[in-house]
Amino acid sequence: MISTLRILAAVFAFLGTAGQAYASIRQLKEFDPEAHRAYVAIEDLNNEFTSWHPVRRARRRKEVKQLLKDSPKEARLYRKVLGQIGSWSLLSVASFFMIVTEVWG
């Protein structure tokens, strides 16, 4: 009985964390539109010429890195959004590991 409740708690923690992450990232557009625009613009630049060719991919990343150096404000906003996405991702992964350990541990 207790192990079933632990598994349910782990599942709910995962679902709650993932749902909160999704809502938080969606709300970013409303609360910080400037950061959202910077993130979308930089991600579009990163993905515009997606290539499996290592030399082209390295050249494109170098160009984007130089653009970020030229615009420190956009680079800061981009890192801010990446930090939010990263932190929510880590929380989701941690709660998923909690499910795994409760089920198979």
**What DSSP character marks residue 84?**
H
- Please give the backbone phi and psi of residue 23, each rounded to the nearest 5 degrees, phi first: -65, -40
Locate 93 and state its tokens: 């992964």
Q: Cα–Cα distance between 99 and 61 in angstroms, integer?
A: 37
Tell whether pTM > 0.75: no
Per the CB < 8 A criterion, the answer to whether 69 and 75 are in contact is yes
Place of tokens 């956009």: 74
Written as tens digits, the pLDDT of the chain (105 aa) is: 778 888 888 889 889 988 888 888 888 888 888 888 888 887 877 777 666 778 887 888 888 889 889 989 988 888 888 888 888 889 888 888 888 888 887
Q: Cα–Cα distance between 31 and 25 in angstroms, integer?
A: 10
Q: Cα–Cα distance between 102 and 105 in angstroms, integer?
A: 5
Q: What is the pLDDT of residue 49?
A: 65
Q: Cα–Cα distance between 93 and 103 in angstroms, integer?
A: 15
